[in-house]
Amino acid sequence: MKHFFNRKDSIVTEALDGFLATAGSGTLARLDGYPEVKVVLRVDWDKTKVAVVSGGGAGHEPSHAGFVGAGMLTAAVSGEIFASPSVEAVLAAIRATTGSAGCLLIVKNYTGDRLNFGLAAEKARAEGFSVEMVIVGDDIALPDIAQPRGIAGTLFVHKIAGHLSETGHDLASVTAAARAAAKEIVSLGISLSSCSIPGQAHQDRFGADDGELGLGIHGEPGVERIALQSAGKLVAIMAERLAARLDPGSRYALLINNLGSVPPLEMSLIANAALASPLAKAVTLTIGPGHLMTALNMNGFSLSLIKLDAEREAALLAPVGPHAWLPAKPVRLPVVVAAAKPAIRDAARAASSDVGAERLIATVCEKLISLEEALNGLDAKAGDGDTGSTVATGARSVLDRIDTLPLAKTATLAAIGDILGTSMGGSSGVLLSIFFTAAAQSLNGGASFSKALLAGLERMTFYGGAKVGDRTMVDALEPALKALDAGGPEAAASAARHGAEATAAMRKAKAGRSAYIGRQLDGVADPGAFAVAEVFAAVAAMFAPA
């Protein structure tokens, strides 16, 4: 896979510098000793409060540096990508942030992190610091493992401990709350791809039609391969396993975490599926969906839940300084607002009969339906070959509803516009809907039929942008409507025919899909203009003397 980076050995330090430069905060800094010691810390920290320090390998952004700030972490210690920070770096963070109140280390349950943070804690104690450590192992993917991994649920502990520290609790109470919280968090992840590390060869072990359930945040294999299926079914599988670990009757907060490259559209869909699953009855707060603890570019997500009590709920709802933290929010069902009713009274659209109007509409629609194959053939030479089918669909829809039209009233054109706008699809349906809707407004204002059609054309070309010479239906429609206004149906048919024939000599279209086509257009009439000419010819024949 391709990545944006300069040198493999400077990715993390350059990224941290970029983060600090754009964080918009004068309260964050990096600790001296860079780049070996990669520590982001608060410069406004009051050492009479308990320092809360966490960290781990890079590649999980915004964790961990993104959560340094008021109400969360005092400092974050970073290693290289997916590598535990050194003992020296952790110890440096403890020294820089810890006063008489002591320090709490929050560590994800990986061997490297446990050892390096643990040795740093022992060295710090030897120097006279009060240091405690909480290990988070929230991953339930491997139920029989003695030491479950720490994944995104760790962020609950960051938030709770950070809040208690910020509000002045002592080390013993902050540690006790953090340990109790860590024991009541469950998490599970799923992904459709493994992550790739910049500067390293990537081999995706996933098949085209499968993913993995329960894989780790460093790309380590999941507990099982799982067939690709709908998001709702995948979330249901996860929800069933998570729900089995919840206490009946208790309230929970749900953290919906993007593991790297899931688009926001899909993350919102996943959130909807999670809140439609059996988990929903237990969830009262949500955090996310969003990027919280990622695995570089992994195409997956994780769900984490923590059991709530009054203290934890207050801690999760408390505002914080870091912008990367997504505020906890109560679950709310979508609010539905009643749509405004059309300004036109229903009576104006009531069905009515008019023999002449019905005959005219039927003649036009039947002609367009008969042209389906011919128009598709013309369009295949310049577009995607569906003009005939699109136009015929609209014509059939109008014919099918002809008994419901207000044929004896000026609202007929507006009703046809509504039908075409919903049945035809694509830009042609919208353009014709504009044409008939605007013409109806003009007709209702007292204009003659031909003047009303010209008014509709003006609005259609205003929104659509096409004009005569652009090789569209306008090349036939505009001269036809002007001739209709001046001389009647026969003159209109002649003008439309000449306009359509002119498009065959236009080597370059300036609107529509055919604008992307070159010399293939030579000698080919525009299908829309051809259809307009055929319609006016049929109308002229209808009005011709017997």
pLDDT value at position 346? 58
pLDDT value at position 513? 44
State how far the Cα of 15 lies from the Cα of 66, in Å rounded to an integer: 12
Confidence of residue 203 (pLDDT cuts 50, 70, 90): confident
Percent of residues, the chain, with pLDDT higher than 90: 82
Confidence of residue 380 (pLDDT cuts 50, 70, 90): confident
Of 128, 120, 134, the C-alpha closest to 89 is 120
pLDDT value at position 1? 81
Ranges for all domains in the chain classified under CATH 3.40.50.10440: 8-197+209-330
pLDDT value at position 514? 45
267, pLDDT greater than 50: yes
344, pLDDT greater than 70: no
Pick the CATH number of 8-197+209-330 from 3.30.700.30, 3.30.70.141, 3.40.1800.10, 3.40.50.10440: 3.40.50.10440
String of DSSP letters for 493-545? HHHHHHHHHHHTT-S---SSGGGG--GGGTT---HHHHHHHHHHHHHHHHHS-
Q: Which of 120-124, 206-210, 334-338 has the lowest mean pLDDT?
A: 206-210
pLDDT value at position 240? 96
String of DSSP letters for 196-258? --TTS-------TTEEEES--TTS---SEEEE---HHHHHHHHHHHHHTTSPTT--EEEEEEE
Percent of residues, the chain, with pLDDT higher than 70: 95
End-to-end CA distance of the chain: 74
Q: Which of 6-15, 348-357, 414-423 has the lowest mean pLDDT?
A: 348-357
Confidence of residue 516 (pLDDT cuts 50, 70, 90): very low
Mean pLDDT of the chain: 93
Mean pLDDT of 306-312: 98
Structure tokens at 208: 């085209």
State how far the Cα of 283 lies from the Cα of 288, in Å rounded to an integer: 13
Ranges for all domains in the chain classified under CATH 1.25.40.340: 346-543
39, pLDDT greater than 80: yes
**Cα dist from 40 to 83, 97, 321, whole Å:** 17, 11, 14
Q: For residues 308 and 34, which has the higher predicted lDDT (pLDDT)?
A: 308
223, pLDDT greater than 90: no
Given the DSSP bridges, would you call strands 38-42 and 75-81 parallel, antiparallel or unpaired?
Answer: antiparallel
As annotated, the active-site residues are: 218
State how far the Cα of 159 lies from the Cα of 163, in Å rounded to an integer: 6
Q: Which of 235-239, 385-389, 473-477 has the lowest mean pLDDT?
A: 385-389
pTM value?
A: 0.80
518, pLDDT greater than 50: no
pLDDT value at position 300? 97
251, pLDDT greater than 90: yes
Q: Which of 126-140, 200-214, 274-288 has the lowest mean pLDDT?
A: 200-214
CATH class of this structure's domain 346-543:
mainly alpha
Confidence of residue 519 (pLDDT cuts 50, 70, 90): very low
State how far the Cα of 112 lies from the Cα of 423, in Å rounded to an integer: 62
Q: Which of 103-117, 207-221, 401-415, 423-437 reaches the highest mean pLDDT?
A: 103-117
Confidence of residue 510 (pLDDT cuts 50, 70, 90): low
Mean pLDDT of 80-99: 97
pLDDT value at position 508? 57
Q: Where are the beta strands (DSSP E) in 61-184?
A: 75-81, 103-108, 131-136
Burial of residue 338 (CB within 10 Å: 0-12, 13-18, 19+) is: exposed
Mean pLDDT of 477-492: 95
